[in-house]
Structure 1
Amino acid sequence: MRMRPTLSWTPAEKLPPGTTDLEPVADALRAGGVLVLSGAGISTESGIPDYRGEGGSLSRHTPMTYQDFTADAQARRRYWARSHLGWRTFGRARPNAGHRAVAAFGRHGRLAGVITQNVDRLHQAAGSEDVVELHGSLDRVVCLSCGDLSARRELAARLEQANAGFEPVAAAINPDGDADLTDEQVGDFRVMPCRACGGILKPDVVFFGETVPPQRVEHCRNLVREATSLLVLGSSLTVMSGLRFVRQAAQAGKPVLIVNRDPTRGDQHALTRVELPLGSALTTLAHRLDIPLDGQGTAEERPRG
């Protein structure tokens, strides 16, 4: 379950310090069977902000909760106005060097899989295959009444038509694709119902306070069981949805390696935490392993739905 976000967690003083030594990560990739667990930090170089790092959005923004979205029509209006505006920017984001490096590791047989906590589909756009989207994806929309799935671009077109002239200037775009708007800017924004049954539409993502589907969690647990090591990229591991896989790997005696600029909640379970920017760190690793970054992952990025 993704809990309501909080800034109350402070890393314990006894956690191991970070390092700039990439060799333990390189060794794991040489051995193969590495399972990647990525978080918002891998997408910051694509222009999508982090939740908690320096300048993270939680310092000024609380993401929508499932309870608020389902219970309050005005909250849904506010969410869809902000999300619609945010999608214009969010949907244009392109994979960065970190995404491309992960895709290259996969193409060259070094990975057991990729689990991402992100909802931006940038791993897939870079060329990664069989990515498990732990929290879903913003490019799909689901009806809460009939379960109908549709493409976000279709809803975006409907919202554009129904809200002609909606052109507020957002203070910022957030990791969940939500834009910061005032209630005055939201105004009387029109929300679209499900075309199939008239029900409430929701992005096909796991909101804070909502439960990750059990079958998805079990699939990820199986990936951890089959992997030889776990590589965490750009996640603070503050919420249990990702931290549980770190704990599982550590309990099984599998190396946990973290690349993140700031301390994480999983540091105590890690063999190492590398304090380097992800794009440059992963590019360095690819060069060290003689893995080219051209090809499927660096040509024209694949469409995201």
Structure 2
Amino acid sequence: MLDNPSLAPVAALRTLLTEKRFMVLTGAGISTPSGIPDYRDSDGVRRGKAPMMFTEFLTLPDSRRRYWARAMLGWPRIRKAQPNPAHFSLAAMQRAGHIAGLITQNVDTLHDQAGSHDVIELHGSLHRVLCLDCGERFDRAAIQLLMEADNHYLLGVDAVQAPDGDTLLDAAFEANFQIPNCPRCDGERLKPDVVFFGENVAAPTAAKAMASVEQADGLLVIGSSLMAYSAFRLCKAINAQGKPLVAINFGKTRADELLDLKIEISCDVLLPELAASLLST
């Protein structure tokens, strides 16, 4: 594929990755081939209803009940999701030194499962649960068992999968849901260890991501519209340093005016070809 003259941008990217050490920033588009829905269409417009805001989750018990009822049904599909060729290709490129490292907006841990190391999880991980009362963290699978034991009536209910482990569940199923309490302090404010909309990225994580970008020779964005400022600010930083900014993404991104190169090819098709070409040299 890389020898096709019509794919000059791909050849240009290959040259850049041969000569420079890029950080990679990934978004939901890299995980859609693994069966995990994304948030936005090709114009960057959000699909479906507005997500739950952090203040709503924090202050309203009914909102937490709604969240966990839907998440109980959505988690098994996240847990079963497998890395696709794009994830494995990036892991191989990292091992070979063709990329400096990975930052991801995704909360599915598929990069880790594919073998990437030291992944910066900009928005956390659905595989962990945080108690907002005592600060303890738990494995998500353990909290799932508690919910299933207390909410047998939801077992077997089929709900449409939504982004980040959410589902589209009829409100009638939510009223009797028993919210899990913290196994350590019995607190009622368990939260997935992810950054909600309206919540800030943890300062150490944001600083680590920015430092990694400042130390890299360029930034490659894969499968992200960059509408979240936590990701867009990294693009602004690399651009301000005069370093190359490249995107592999279908449709509009928030950083289109900053991009040096944009490639609209499915990442699970392009990245294996790119990795094979780089690893053969």
Q: TM-score, normalised by structure 1?
A: 0.86
Over the aligned positions, Cα root-mean-square deviation in angstroms equals 1.7
Counterparts of residues 264-283 of structure 1 (less than 5 Å): 264-283=253-272
Write the letter of the residue equivalent to 1:203. P
Question: How many residues were matched structurally?
Answer: 273
Aligned to 2:211: 222
Query: Contact 2:41–2:47 at 8 Å: present in 1 too?
Result: no
Alignment of 1:21 with 2:9, yes or no, is: yes
Write the letter of the residue equivalent to 1:144. L
> In the alignment, which of 114, 117, 123 is matched to residue 102 of structure 2?
114
Write the letter of the residue equivalent to 2:61. A
Aligned to 1:38: 26
* Closer, same or farther: CA 57–146 of 1 in aligned 2, 3 Å: farther
Write the letter of the residue equivalent to 2:104. T
Alignment of 1:242 with 2:228, yes or no, is: no
Alignment of 1:161 with 2:149, yes or no, is: yes
After TM superposition, the structure 1 stretch with the greater mean CA deviation from structure 2, 213-222 or 22-31, is: 22-31
Distance 1:150 1:71 in 2: 22
* Closer, same or farther: CA 128–291 of 1 in aligned 2, 3 Å: farther
After TM superposition, the structure 1 stretch with the greater mean CA deviation from structure 2, 135-144 or 161-170, is: 161-170
Alignment of 1:103 with 2:91, yes or no, is: yes
Distance 2:223 2:47 in 1: 18
Unpaired runs of at least 5, structure 2: 1-6
Distance 1:173 1:236 in 2: 21
Distance 1:98 1:55 in 2: 23
Write the letter of the residue equivalent to 1:148. E
Deviation at 1:290, TM superposition (A): 3.2
Query: Contact 1:34–1:229 at 8 Å: present in 2 too?
Result: yes
Write the letter of the residue equivalent to 1:112. A
Deviation at 1:284, TM superposition (A): 1.5
> In the alignment, which of 180, 183, 190 is matched to residue 192 of structure 1?
180
Q: Percent sequence identity over matched residues?
A: 41
Aligned to 2:124: 136
Query: Contact 1:108–1:291 at 8 Å: present in 2 too?
Result: no
Report the 3-state secondary structure (helix = DSSP H, G, I; strand = E; otherwise coil) of the residue aligned with 1:147.
Answer: coil
Distance 1:279 1:113 in 2: 18
Distance 2:25 2:47 in 1: 24
Aligned to 1:257: 246
Distance 2:220 2:56 in 1: 34
Write the letter of the residue equivalent to 1:177. G
Distance 2:68 2:226 in 1: 28
Aligned to 1:208: 197
Distance 1:119 1:157 in 2: 20
Distance 1:291 1:241 in 2: 35
Aligned to 2:3: none
Distance 1:282 1:92 in 2: 23
Report the 3-state secondary structure (helix = DSSP H, G, I; strand = E; otherwise coil) of the residue aligned with 2:168.
Answer: coil
Query: Contact 2:44–2:253 at 8 Å: present in 1 too?
Result: no
Deviation at 1:195, TM superposition (A): 1.4
Query: Contact 2:22–2:100 at 8 Å: present in 1 too?
Result: yes
Q: Deviations over 1:250-293 (max 9, x none)?
A: 0001100000011211111111110000100111111221359x
Query: Contact 1:105–1:291 at 8 Å: present in 2 too?
Result: no
Unpaired runs of at least 5, structure 1: 1-18, 293-305
Aligned to 2:4: none
Say which structure, 1 or 2, has more relative contact order (CA 8 Å, 6+ apart).
1
Aligned to 2:65: 77
Q: TM-score, normalised by structure 2?
A: 0.93
Query: Contact 2:25–2:222 at 8 Å: present in 1 too?
Result: yes
Distance 1:119 1:34 in 2: 22
Write the letter of the residue equivalent to 2:66. R
